[in-house]
């Protein structure tokens, strides 16, 4: 059976709350979850953290 939507979103938001305190980030630019995590870290610190995207460079997907 599929998990309830409420539980899925609660888990996502819990992960983002933890990730926003990270000092660096490794993810993929194709993943919206990775993008949200990077934006959450940036919003928390006020600066873009050191990050590595394992697929394409950020600009090739976001601004293409």
Query: How far, rounded to the nearest angstrom, does the alpha carbon of residue 24 sit from its chain's CA centroid?
Result: 11
Token pair for 46:
């006020």
Q: What pLDDT is stored for residue 31 in this prediction?
A: 86
Task: List, for the chain, all residue ranges whose pLDDT scores fall below the cut of 70.
Answer: 56-64
Predicted model pTM: 0.71
pLDDT digits (tens, 9 = 90+) for 19-36: 889 999 999 888 888 989
CA distance 28 to 6: 25
CA distance 29 to 11: 20
Residue located via tokens 């996502």? 12
């Amino acid at each position: 059976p599929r998990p309830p939507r409420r539980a899925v979103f609660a888990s996502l938001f819990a992960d983002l709350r933890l990730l926003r305190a990270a000092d660096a980030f490794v993810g993929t630019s194709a993943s919206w979850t990775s993008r949200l995590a990077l934006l959450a870290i940036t919003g928390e610190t006020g600066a873009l953290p050191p990050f590595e995207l394992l697929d394409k460079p950020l600009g090739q997907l976001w601004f293409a």
